[in-house]
Amino acid sequence: MDDFTQDPNAPQTPPATNIPDFTAPMYNPYPKKKKGSGWKIFWGIVITLSVLANGIMFIGIIAMGAVLSGGSGGGYHDDGLEERILMDGSHRQKIAVINLVGIIDGEMSKWVNMQVERAENDTNVKALILRINSPGGGVSASDQIHYCISRFKETTNKPVLGFMQSVAASGGYYSAVACDEIMAEPTTITGSIGVIMNYMVVKELLEEKLGINPVTIKSGKRKDWPSMFHEPTDEQKTYLSEKIITPAYDRFVNLVDEGRPNLAEHEVRQLADGSIFTAPEAMDKGLIDEVGYFDAAVTKIEEMAHLSNARIVEYNQKFSVWSIMGAQSKKGTINIESELLDKLAAPRLLYLWDGKE
């Protein structure tokens, strides 16, 4: 056997080779992502953020409860108001501007009371300016505002200046006479001392137009006076005037007499026929003390309170998510039909000047 002949009985050695084995799985440096892994990450983030948000909300509710149950320090509790500076000056000598703007009703009375209480609880407030731009409104609401200002003066012994802008008539003037002095802008309309009651009579509309015949069952003949279902008789008008109009009118006159010591009661009654006056006319008749603008009002109240370089502030409602939610909730519960019916049916006793009439 030569050197080149292979022994068939010798063990076989596999020949060395560099040829790759295409049957084995190949290594892929860019493996495919598992299907759905992106959504898992997304929902994981969402759940995490949700848990964090709920935790923050829970902490906020606890903090809010603590504030409501406790106090915020600084001489007054957290009343939902924030202070805004109108004119800068010493923070230890503040003059608070109390805003009475719009028709005077129960909500306006509450708003004025909130402002006055805030000022009363702030020891740095040395005086008030009651800024009025109102044609008046409800008898009770106007009387509540008058009482609120009178109480502040009595409990704090601090001066209050009434400052009229645009319109301060009827209930607006009623509120002003609680102040120590009154100033009005030159173009202000004021006065309208008196009381009015109005209501709708729908008898003809119901019976002749709609064919509806209203029926009233009552315990006594005066129980439904006045009624929207029939015209008032002379007896009814006299009765309502004696029971409602005259007492409200007399109270208005008496409070003007008390608040304007320069006028005798008979002089007040001469002016209390519902007439309106410009600011110069009102000053000539003794219904106000001065005519001027806001800067003059600031100078005047500083003199009254013996202050200099006072900081002038006013109060606004704090902005919050809770207040928006509350407003939206109230907005969503308005019942137009019931409100309209209430206005038609219920007589309204008012210290109001209606410029449209």
Q: Are 176 and 182 in contact (CB under 8 A)?
A: yes
> Which among 170, 175, 192, 227 is annotated as catalytic?
170
| Residue 101 structure tokens | 């703007």
How big is the CA angle at 36 (ends 31 and 38), to the nearest 5 degrees? 80
SS3 label, residue 49: helix
Query: Of 136, 131, 134, 138, whose CA–CA distance to 106 is shortest?
Result: 138
State the Rg of the chain over Cα. 39
Q: Which class for 102: exposed (0-12), middle (13-18), buried (19 or more C-beta within 10 A)?
A: middle
Angle at 135 between CA 131 and CA 136, to 5 degrees: 90
**Spatial contact of 137 and 104, defined as CB atoms under 8 Å apart:** yes
**Catalytic annotation on 33?**
no
The answer to whether the beta carbons of residues 133 and 112 sit under 8 Å apart is no
Paired sense of beta strands 136-138 and 160-169, if any: unpaired
DSSP-derived pairing of the beta strands 181-184 and 160-169:
parallel
Burial 105-135 (b: 16+ CB within 10 A, else e): eeebbebbbbbbbbbbebebbbbbbbbbbbb
CA 281 to chain centre: 33
Is 275 considered catalytic here? no
90-101 and 310-317 beta bridge pairing: parallel
Among the listed residues 223, 237, 318, 343, the single catalytic one is 223
Cα separations (Å) of 235 from 156, 171, 221, 231, 232?
A: 48, 28, 11, 11, 8
Active site residues: 170, 223
